[in-house]
Amino acid sequence: MNSIYGMVRQDNPYILQVRVPVPYPLQYVNAYLIQGDSGWTVLDPGIHSPEALELWEGVFRTLGIGFGQLERIVLTHHHPDHYGLAGYFQHKSGAPVFLSEWGRRQADDLWGNGDEAARRLWRLFRQHGMDAPMADAMLPHMAGFVELVSPRPETAPIQSGDMLQLGDGLWEAVETGGHAAGHMSFYRKETGEMFCGDAVLPRISPNIGYMPGVEEDPLASFLEGLRHLGEYAVERAYPGHRDSFQGFAKRCCELIAHHDRRLGQMEERIGAGPCTAYECCTGLFGTRLTVHQFRFAMSETLAHLIHLEGQGRIRREERQGAVVFFGASRNPTASSLLRR
Ligand SMILES: [Zn+2]
Ligand SMILES: [Zn+2]
């Protein structure tokens, strides 16, 4: 593998990984260029920032191609680091952009609907015990994404099971939820290759995102997705972050085990004394987090608590407008614990 202008060649000479910078701790997102006889497919072009555009200019110059050679743009999911440049690339190339219907709806809701989604998140976090200054900081933070995903693309829908052309090959779209509702991975049976976006990542655990009104129990759907993806015969996986990897089914099992452990930790924490999701979150992830990291940590915590609640391992009660979680045992009662 060699690397120039953020491009990392893969064993498959028709697939090029492009490391597009993102302004988060993850540092970069993997876009993929897939070469076909009549043009190129771009998978997840990255975020719309001057740094990302500069990188793409270098990539196109090195390859001797232009926007005119882009045949299609395919998105695994709607998160800004993957989706952000799709509209700009479409504007420049006229290429169709493929995204799941769930993905399109969430993108419209998050960035095409004023601050409605951000306010919903604010209410959710306040209800779950986040202090006002931190919750207030979520509003400008969320608004800051709009320019990173503009202009937004016109999208054509992809459904699970669709066979989509990437380069010259046909790839099966596989939908799994939990990290992002409507997330699509793409599998090519002939070669055992899988573009897995953020559904399965090597070395890091994909964030489980709880958003009101989307998936009721995102962790349940994430775990179900891992079991489903783990059944595919995968020789080489191309993730949305970090390096391409082998041992895909094993990685799916590791992530399931990771969440089992985390569920156990949270159940134990709540068993030791009732607490809000925010208290549980800061207990587990600490308080020295950026606004961005706090949003991810809270979503992750809520996803686990909702899952534990669904399994009957904890329960919630509302106290003075805040949701408090308790161990599942009814004895001692919630009110007697609160009086202590
Ligand atoms: Zn993502
Ligand atoms: Zn990502």
Distance 240 CA to ligand 2 centre (A): 6
Instruction: Tell me the pLDDT tens digit for each residue of 11-41.
Output: 999 999 999 999 877 789 999 999 999 999 9
Distance 153 CA to ligand 2 centre (A): 18
Instruction: Tell me the pLDDT tens digit for each residue of 40-54.
Output: 999 999 999 999 999
Tell me the average pLDDT across 261-271: 96
Distance 274 CA to ligand 1 centre (A): 31
Residue 1 has pLDDT above 50, yes or no: no
Reference 325, options 238, 267, 258, 250; nearest CA is: 267
* CATH among 2.60.40.790, 3.40.1020.10, 1.10.10.10, 1.25.40.10 for 271-339: 1.10.10.10
Residue 287 has pLDDT above 70, yes or no: yes
User: Of the bound ligands, which one is closest to the alpha carbon of residue 22?
Assistant: 2
Instruction: Tell me the pLDDT tens digit for each residue of 203-242.
Output: 999 999 898 889 999 999 999 999 999 999 999 999 999 9
Tell me the C-alpha distance between 79 and 107, whole Å: 8
Give all strands of the β-sheet with 236-239 in edge-to-edge order.
163-166, 169-176, 183-188, 193-197, 236-239
Averaged pLDDT score across all residues of the chain: 93
ipTM: 0.99
**Beta strands at 236-239 and 193-197: parallel, antiparallel or unpaired:** parallel
Tell me the C-alpha distance between 103 and 73, whole Å: 14
Tell me the C-alpha distance between 235 and 220, whole Å: 26
Distance 234 CA to ligand 1 centre (A): 21
Q: Which CATH class is domain 3-114+147-257?
A: alpha beta
Going by C-beta distance under 8 Å and a sequence separation of 6 or more, which residues neighbour residue 266? 280, 284, 301, 304, 305, 308, 314
* Residue 126: how many other CB atoms lie within 10 Å: 18
What is the residue extent of each domain of the chain? 3-114+147-257, 271-339
